[in-house]
Chain A
Amino acid sequence: MTDVAHDHASSTGISNVKLGMWAFLGSECLLFGGLISTYMLYRGRVSGGPRPSQIFDIPFTSVSSFVLLMSSLTMVLAVSAAHKEDDRKTNLWLTVTALLGATFVGGQVYEFTAFYKEGLGFSTSLFGSSFYTLTGFHGVHVTVGIIMLMSLVGILKRSSVPGKKAEVVEMIGLYWHFVDIVWIIIFTLVYLIPV
C-alpha cells in the first residue's frame, strides 16, 4: 500500500485544499463582518467633510459592480473548462476573469481619486477612515485574487502546477466568488442604503 499523509481518500470526500479554502473563507466572513460593522457605526459621522450622498456616484459604481459580477461567470467557465481538461479555454477564461477584476480595481482607484479630490481623505472624518478601510480591504482581496489568477495562468502554461489542475482552479474560484459576494453586501450597505 502506498500512502502519503494527504493522498489517501479523505474522510469527507472533499479534497484538503478545497476544504481548507472553505475554512479560510469562513474566517474571512468575520474579517469583513468586523469591517462592515465599523463602517455602519461610523458612516454618519462626517465631521464637516463630505457626506456619503454627496460623493457617491451610484451609476458608475453600479457598472463596476456589474463588471465584477460578470467575472464570477467567467470564473465558472474557467472551472468548467478545467474539469474538461481543456487547458486552452481554462487559460482564456482565467485571463478574462483577471481582466474583469482589474477593471473593477481600476474603477475603485478612479473612484478613490475622485472622492479625495472632493475632499474626503483617509483622515477627514470617521466616515472617511472607515469607508476607505472597508472598500480598501475588499480591493486588496480582489487584487490578491488577480495575482493568483495570473500566476495560475503562468503556471498552467508551464504545466508544472502541483496537484490536480481542476482542483486548484476550483479552489481559487471559491475565493473569487467569495470576494464577489462580499462586494454585493458592501455595495448594498455602503452605496444603496441611505444614511
Chain B
Amino acid sequence: MAIIERPAPTVPAIVTPTSTYGLLKRPVSTTGWRSWVFTVDHKKLGIMYAATAMFFFIVGGVEALLIRLQLAAPNGKVLNADLYNQMFTMHATTMVFLFVMPMAAGFANYFVPLQIGARDVAFPRLNAFGFWAFLFGGIFLNLAWFLGGAADGGWFMYAPNSGPVFSPSHGVDFWALGLQITGIASLTGAINLIITVLNMRAPGMTLMKMPIFTWMITVVQFLLLFAVPVITVALFLLSFQRNFGAQFFDVAAGADPLLWQHLFWIFGHPEVYILILPSFGIVSEVLPVFSRKPLFGYPFVVFSGAAIGFVGWGVWAHHMFASGLGPVSVAVFSLTTMAIAVPTGVKIINWTLTMWGGKLWFTTAMKFAIGLIVLFTVGGLSGVTHAVAPSDTQQTDTYYIVAHFHYVLFGGAVLGIFSGFYYWWPKVFGKMLNEKIGSWNFWLMVIGLNMTFGPMHILGLQGQPRRMYQWTEARAGEGFFNLAFWNLVASIGSFILSVGILMFLINVVVTARNPKKAPLDPWNARSLEWMTSNPPKEHNFDVIPTVHHLDEFFHQKFEEDEATHTMKQVRTAEEIMAEQERNADKHIHMPSPSYWPIVLAFGLPIITFGLIYSHLISVVGGVIVLFAAYGWALESSTAPDSDFETNTPGTGLDKVGANHD
C-alpha cells in the first residue's frame, strides 16, 4: 500500500492517486479507521477476522449460558420452548460459522503469507472482500433476532421441519441466506489461500518444507473449496422452497427429505475437519517449539492431514444411521468412519512422540496444546463409538452426541485456538500475554469444560434427548446417574468455563496496558514467521528469505556440531534481523487499499434482505454489486508507479508491471 523507502521503513510514504482507475480515486489513509476499513493488508485483515470472530464467540457463549441456565433445574423457566429452539440453533450456527471458521481464517490470513515467506496473499482485495462478506453475513444472520425470531430448526436444519409450515417466521430465511453470504466469504478465502500457497512460496520452499500449520490450512482450504458449493446448493433449494414455491422438501408432493440430509452432511462432515485441522496445525507448531525438538514424523503429520482431507468425504452418512439407510450403506459408512480414526490417531501419536524426551517448557501455549491432545482424544474415542452403528442408533439425538462434539470442538478446536493466541500474541502485537493470568485462563477453561461436557456422556446414555427444552423431576431418575444432579453440574461447569474465557479477555487488557515489549524471538521458534520484526513490517520481510530446510529459521540460528552431533547456536534472531535490514530490498510496492471490497460485500446482504421482504431492495443491492464489480475490475491491485513517484523524489524506481487480481 505504500512504498517503503530506506532507511526509514517505519514512516509509510503515501500514495497519491493521480487519476481515477476504478470509478473513484483509491483511498490513501494510512492511519485511523480508514486504514482498516479499506485495507488489503493480510495482517490487518487477519486481526479483523480474529477480533470479529471473538465477538461472535462471546455472543455464542451467552446463548450457551442461557441454554445451561434453562436446563440447570427441572421445569426451567428462563426460556420458552420457541426461544429455546432459536437459542440452540443460533448457538451452534454462531460457533461453527461465525467463530471457529473465521477465527481459523484469521490465523491463516495472518500467518500463512509469513510462514511461506511472502509479502501478501495472491488476491489482496479478494481477501478484504472475504472478511467483509463474513462480517455482513454474520450480522445478517443475527438480524433475525430482531425481525420476528431467529432460525429454530437446529444447526443442520432438517427438512421438512425447515419448511414454511413448521417454521413460519423469517428465521430460517435469514439463516439460509446469511449462510450463503458467509459461504461466499469462505469460498473466496479458500481460493485466495490455495493460490497463495501454491504460487507464492519463497524460493527453495518446496511443499515438504512448508510449515505444518500452512499445510493443515491448505488442506482445510481444499475442503472448503469443495464442501461450500454443496451447502450452497442445499441452501438454494431451501430458499427456493420457502420463497418461490419450489417443492424440494415437500413430502406431500413426493419429495425425499433425506435429500437435505445427504447434501447437508456431504458438506457437514468435511466441515468438522475444516473446524479441527487449523487447530491441529497450531499445536503442531507449538509442541515442537516448547519441546525443543523438531516435529516427530513431519511427513506423517502432513500426509495424515491430507488423508483426513480425502477420507473426510466418505463418512457423511454416519450422521444418518438412524434414518433407515439400509444395511449396506450403514456397514460401509461404519467402516469408513473407523478408518478415519487412523490418520487422526497418527497425529496424536506424532504429537506425543514430539514431546517424548524433549525439554518441555510449560508455557500457557504449551498447556493448551497438551490440553488439546488429551481432550481431543476423549472426544475422538467417543467418536469411534459412533462408528458402531447399533450403538450409535441408541445415542442418536441424545446428550452423548452433544458431549462428543463439544469435546472435539471445544477440547480440540478451541483449545488449539487459545494455544495459538498465547504462542503468536508477541508476533502480532509485540507484547507477551501474561503467563500467570494465562495459567488461570487454562485451568479454569479445562476444569469448566470437563465439568460441562463430561456429565453429558452420562446424561446421554441415560437417555436425555438433545434439544429438549425442559426436563421434569419425575423423570430424572435416582441414584448416581440421576439427571438432576448431572444437569446441575454441567450448568455450574459452563459458568466456570465462562470465567476461564473472561480471564483471557482480562489478559488481553492487562497486556495491552503493560508497556513491556516482547523480545524478538521469545520462544526460540522454528518457522519463518518469526524471522521478522514483532509486529511484522507492512511488507513482512525486508528480504524475501531463501529456504533450505524445514524449520528454516531454526536452521539459520543453529548448526550441527560435527564432533558431538548436537545443535549449537551460531546466530541469534537479532543478528539475522540485522543482516536482513542491511540487505533490505529498496523498493517494495505493496498492494494498495481499495473501496471496492467493502462496497461489493455490502451489496450482498441488501440483495438477500430484498429476497425476504421486497424484490425492489434486491435490485438496489444488485446495482451496488455491479457498480463495485466494475470499479474493482477497472482498478489495478497496486497503484501505478507514477502514483508512488509523486511522493518519492526521484530515486530511480524500478519499473513494475501493472497488477491485477
Contacts and interface: CB of A to CB of B under 8 A. Distances in A.
A88 to B, nearest CB: 22
Contacts of B585: 1-3
Contacts of B660: 17, 162-163, 168
A33 B313 CA distance: 14
Contacts of A28: 229
Interface in B244-285: 244-248, 253-256, 259, 263
B225 A163 contact: no
Contacts, number: 169
A19 B122 CA distance: 10
Given A4-B656, A45-B253, A123-B244, 7 more contacts: A2-B585, A2-B653, A4-B590, A5-B118, A6-B122, A133-B246, A162-B636
A12 B190 CA distance: 18
Given A20-B195, A31-B232, A133-B237, A162 B659 contact: yes
Given A27-B225, A126-B254, A16 B247 contact: no
B240 A129 contact: yes
Interface in B203-252: 225-230, 232-234, 236-237, 240-241, 244-248
21 contacts: A2-B585, A2-B587, A2-B655, A4-B588, A5-B119, A6-B122, A6-B123, A7-B657, A12-B199, A24-B187, A27-B190, A34-B234, A38-B259, A122-B246, A123-B245, A126-B247, A128-B247, A129-B246, A162-B21, A162-B660, A163-B659
Q: How large is the interface on B (under 10, 10 to 19, 20 to 34, 35 or more residues)?
A: 35 or more
Contact of A20 (B123, B227, B544): B123
Contacts of B636: 162-163
A27 B194 CA distance: 12
Query: Do most interface residues of chain A lie in helix, strand or loop, or is the interface mixed?
Result: helix
A151 B529 CA distance: 41
Interface string B564-589: 00000000000000000000011111
A193 interface: no
Interface of A: 1-8, 10-12, 14, 16-17, 19-20, 23-24, 26-31, 33-35, 38, 41-42, 45, 47, 122-123, 125-126, 128-130, 133, 151, 155, 160, 162-164, 168
Chain B CB within 10 Å — which of A1, A16, A130 has the most?
Answer: A16
Interface of B: 21, 118-124, 187, 190-192, 194-195, 198-201, 225-230, 232-234, 236-237, 240-241, 244-248, 253-256, 259, 263, 544, 585-591, 630, 633-638, 653-661
Contacts of B21: 160, 162
B226 A130 contact: no
Contact of A16 (B225, B256, B656, B661): B661
A29 to B, nearest CB: 8
A166 to B, nearest CB: 13
